Amino acid sequence: MILLHNIGPRVNSNYNSIEEILQTTGPLSFDGVYTSVYDHREALRGRDVTLFVTGKYVGQDNSFDAPMPLERFCTFDQLSELVAMGFKLGYHTWSHPNLTLTDDVHLEFEIDPPFFWPFPTRPYLFAYPYGCFDARVIEAVKRAGYTQAWSVFAGDNSPFQQTRKYLNW
């Protein structure tokens, strides 16, 4: 699976052009799910795409992620439309912390989708923020009902330690 963020002109490593993305084969994943994904939805139609949503920032911007360029995340309505097109929905925590540094109560809060989750089913796919996990985090993700989880570079490619690569790395 390829890890992507934004679609657009390359300003930094968080950006890939739609042309680059369309030249790839295999599954794609987007973390945070910026509106650029929604804007390019027709070009992505029919691809194996997983959207890893960060709950707190749905419909908000990425001002927490300075010095990255300021961008907006998809709204629940936009995400619903993408899911209706066949994109898979995963969760990327409530607020994107390093889960290995959170206490057990905060860990559970972060990995459990909010009570107002507007989709008919809860997600069963999970992506670790910053790709960070340990045995405690994996066990919490399993208890929360997820069936698969992705990191970035770390992992043994077992169901809860799957790796993703950036398109241009």
Residue 63's pLDDT is 87
Mean pLDDT calculated for residue range 55-84: 91
Gap between the Cα atoms of 160 and 96, Å rounded: 18
Alpha carbon distances (Å) from 57 to 6, 36, 52: 15, 15, 12
Read off the pLDDT of each residue in 96-111 and give the average, rounded to a whole number: 96
Once rounded to an integer, what is the mean pLDDT over residues 8-13?
78
Beta strand 165-166 with 148-150 is: unpaired
- The pLDDT score that the predictor gives to residue 129 is 95
In the chain, the percentage of residues whose pLDDT exceeds 70 is 99
Burial class (CB in 10 A: 0-12, 13-18, 19+), 120: exposed
Specify the pLDDT at position 102.
97
Average of pLDDT values for 95-113? 95
Question: Over the chain, what is the mean pLDDT?
Answer: 92
**The pLDDT value given to residue 169:** 65
Residues 131-141 have a mean pLDDT of 97
pTM of the model: 0.93
Domain 2-166 grouped into CATH 3.40.470.10: no
